[in-house]
Amino acid sequence: MFILLLIILCIFFILYLKFKNYVPILMYHRIADIPSDRNALPKEKFAEQLEYLSTHNYHTITPEQLYNHFINKAKLPKNPVLLTFDDGYQDNYLEALPLLKKYNMTAVVFPIYNWIGKPNKWENFGKQETTTMNLAELKSWLHHGLDIQPHTADHPFLTQCNEEKLNLEIIDTKTKFEKLLDKPMDYLCYPYGFFNQQVINIVKKANYKMAFAIFENVPLWHINLFALPRIPIPSHQKMWEFKLKVSSIHIIFVAMRKWERQFKQLKNKFK
C-alpha cells in the first residue's frame, strides 16, 4: 500500500514538473443566463471568475503572445491565461466586453464568417435564439484592444468535409476575414474542437500559426501548435472547479484521467 502511494506521488510530481509552466486556455461561448444551455455562462459567474483572476495575480494574454512564447521563448507575464470565446455571440460584446475592460483583460473571439450579425441558425440543437456580433461590434471589439480570429465560414464538422470544402472553410475564410477586418488572421478555432491530419495539413498550407481544439481531443504530453488544448467553462461551473481549471494541477488530473481511460481500453482488448 505504502509503495503504491509512493508511486502515485512520484507520478504526480513528475507530471507537476512537466506541466508547471502550462498555460490554461479557457473556452467560453455565451455570456447569458439560460439554464438549459450548458454553454451559456451567467454574467455574474463570469464576473466572479474575472474577479478571481484579477485578485490572484493572473494575467490574460493574446494568441500572439502564446505563439511567441512557444516559438521564440518570449517571456509571458506571471500566471498567464488565455480567454477565448467561440462563435462571436452578441452577448460577448454586450456583457463580456465591459467586464473585460473593467479588469483590464484581453480575450479573443472566434466568429463564424457567414454568420456575422445573424441569428444563431447554424446551431440545430434547440438552442435559444440569439444573434452574433455584427461588423460594427466586431470592429469595436478590436478597437478596445481585444482580438478576433477565424472560426471557419459555416461551422461544419471539418472531419466530415471534402478537400474543396476544407479549402473554403479554412483558406478562403482566412483571406475574407483579413479583408473584412484589415488585420492578420493567424489562429484558427476548430468547430466542435474536431480535426484530423488532413485538416491540419490545410491549416498549415493556409499559413495559420496555431489552431485551437478542446483538451479532450488532443495529446497533452507534447504541445501541438495545431491542436491546442482548451478547457471548457460550462454554465454550471463552480468556483472551486474554476480555480482548479486555471491552476497547473488541473492538467495533471486531465492527463491522469486520459491515461486511466487508455489503460482500461487496453485492458479490455486483452480480456
The contact set with Zn ion (CB under 5 A) reads 86-87, 191
| b (16+ CB within 10 A) / e for 211-246 | bbbbbeebebeeeebbbbbbbbbebebeeeebeebb
Closer of 87 and 186 to Zn ion (Cβ):
87
At residue 161, what is the residue type? C
E strands, 200-249, where? 210-212, 231-232
Q: In whole angstroms, how far apart are CA 51 and each of 62, 99, 113, 241, 243?
A: 19, 9, 32, 15, 12
CB nearer to Zn ion: give 157 or 221. Answer: 157
Q: Number of helices (H) and strands (E) in the chain: give both, helices first.
A: 11, 10
Q: Which are the contacts of 96, defined by CB distance < 8 A and separation ≥ 6?
A: 28, 31, 46, 85, 107
Q: Which is nearer to Zn ion, 80 or 229 (CB)?
A: 229
The nearer residue to Zn ion, 106 or 132, going by C-beta atoms, is 132
What is the smallest separation between the CB atom of 151 and Zn ion, expressed in angstroms? Answer: 6
Q: For the CB of residue 146, give the shortest distance to Zn ion in the complex, in Å.
A: 18
For residues 171 and 202, the answer to whether their CB atoms sit within 8 Å is yes
Q: How far is the CB of 155 from Zn ion (least distance, A)?
A: 6
Measured from the CB atom, the residue of 87 and 147 that comes closer to Zn ion is 87
Minimal distance, residue 209 CB to Zn ion, in Å: 20
* Shortest Å distance, C-beta 197 to Zn ion: 21
CA distance 105 to 180: 25
User: Please, what is the minimum distance in Å from the beta carbon of residue 88 to Zn ion?
Assistant: 9
As measured in angstroms, the least distance from the Cβ of 37 to Zn ion is 13
Q: Which helix (H) or strand (E) holds 25?
A: strand 25-28
Nearest to 60 by CA among 72, 43, 46, 77: 77
Query: Which residue's CB comes closest to Zn ion?
Result: 86
Comparing CB distances to Zn ion, the nearer of 24 and 191 is: 191
Q: What's the CA gap between 160 and 2, in Å, rounded? A: 49
Q: Which is nearer to Zn ion, 87 or 95 (CB)?
A: 87
Q: What gap in Å lies between CA 152 and CA 184, rounded to an integer? A: 15
Q: How far is the CB of 68 from Zn ion (least distance, A)?
A: 26
Q: How many Cβ atoms are within 10 Å of 164's Cβ, its own excluded?
A: 8
Q: Which is nearer to Zn ion, 47 or 116 (CB)?
A: 116
DSSP 228: B
